[in-house]
């Protein structure tokens, strides 16, 4: 028997006044899946996160979380999800153990049950030897682990994280992903997070790309990049418009003129570079060849470069 989806979103739309923040989003997320919503700020990630975490009612559509209707069973949903917000929620003057103790009390966990869960999570997240440390003295990566432990104390089947790698260096970000994978593998938890970092989305089972309230693509990172196909050639020079026109007219291709770069996809990248250099002698400052990235996927789906401008 196929297990029911952890999240079902059907025709979800939401407005802030005249601005459409989410436009008819429909999506299913499977149990024990790591799903990442990625997109520039202003794409709709923050709005969707606030809705899924029960912080904000929505206007149109239907959302089911762990089998419960988010409109009519919000309390039941809250009991079954863990949430890690972008802004820190730790009491910086308390120790790691004290932060977890008070979080346990908020969920009605006491006695041996609370002590066992707190100890187990500190062990799982590598915090046991830091249990007596004041949290304001911890590194950003360690504080994020304490946030994860707080979110997992009551044994949720769904963990929601909003921009969890904010402020983390690459090593701490990699460690965070190791812990997220361990939580999923050992406890079967569905993990849904938002990020504006395209490289971070490569860790997901599937990603959903949001742009201006639209869900423009959903699939695994590998399959999305394979849809772009071939190689990506990027060209820079003082007159990109002229370069773009020569590629169109001479090579019969449709390159994209994006900010300070001309981009195009080609099955044979090295040969394409040679041909572009031949038709644009002395006009090119920089030309590179790469395999398709999630940036290329975003460009292919939206026709523009990935930007961090705007509001979520």
Q: Are 227 and 299 in contact (CB under 8 A)?
A: no
Query: Taking a C-beta distance cutoff of 8 angstroms, is the pair 149, 122 a contact?
Result: yes
Residue 48 has pLDDT above 80, yes or no: yes
Q: Once rounded to an integer, what is the mean pLDDT over residues 188-205? A: 91
Q: What span, in angstroms and rounded, lies between the C-alpha atoms of 70 and 58? A: 9
The secondary structure element, H or E, covering residue 96 is helix 96-106
Which tokens sit at 158? 């769904």
Tens digit of each residue's pLDDT (9 = 90 or more) over 139-189 = 988 998 898 889 888 889 999 999 888 777 888 888 888 888 988 998 899
What is this structure's pTM? 0.82
Give residue 162's region: left, alpha or beta (phi > 0; psi -120 to 50): beta
CA dist 278 and 294 (Å) reads 29
Q: What is the pLDDT of residues 271-310, one digit of tens each?
A: 999 999 999 999 999 999 988 888 888 888 887 777 644 4
């Amino acid at each position: 028997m196929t297990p029911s989806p952890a999240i079902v979103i059907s025709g979800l739309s939401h407005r802030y006044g005249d601005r459409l923040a989410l436009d008819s989003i429909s999506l299913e997320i499977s149990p024990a899946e790591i799903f990442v919503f990625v997109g520039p700020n202003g794409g709709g990630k923050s709005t969707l996160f606030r809705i899924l975490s029960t912080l904000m009612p929505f206007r149109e559509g239907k959302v089911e979380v762990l089998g419960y209707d988010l409109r009519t069973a919000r309390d039941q949903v809250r009991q079954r999800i863990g949430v890690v917000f972008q802004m820190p929620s730790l009491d910086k003057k308390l120790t790691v153990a004290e932060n977890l103790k008070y979080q346990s009390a908020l969920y009605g966990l006491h006695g041996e049950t609370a002590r066992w869960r707190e100890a187990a999570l500190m062990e799982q997240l590598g915090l046991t030897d830091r249990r007596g440390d004041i949290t304001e003295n911890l590194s950003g990566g360690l504080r994020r682990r304490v946030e994860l432990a707080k979110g997992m104390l009551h044994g949720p089947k769904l963990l929601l994280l909003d921009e969890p790698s904010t402020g983390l260096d690459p090593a701490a970000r990699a460690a965070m992903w190791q812990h997220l994978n361990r939580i999923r593998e050992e406890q079967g938890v569905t993990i849904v997070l938002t990020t504006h970092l395209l490289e971070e989305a490569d860790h997901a089972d599937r990603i959903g790309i949001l742009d201006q309230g639209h869900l423009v693509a959903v699939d695994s990172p590998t399959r999305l990049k394979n849809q772009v196909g071939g190689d990506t050639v990027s060209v820079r020079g003082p007159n990109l418009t002229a370069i773009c026109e020569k590629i169109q007219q001479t090579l019969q291709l449709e390159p994209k003129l994006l900010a300070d770069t001309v981009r195009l996809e080609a099955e044979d990248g090295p040969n394409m570079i040679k041909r572009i250099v031949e038709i644009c002698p002395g006009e090119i400052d920089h030309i590179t060849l790469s395999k398709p990235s999630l940036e290329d996927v975003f460009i292919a789906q939206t026709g523009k470069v990935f930007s961090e401008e705007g509001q979520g």
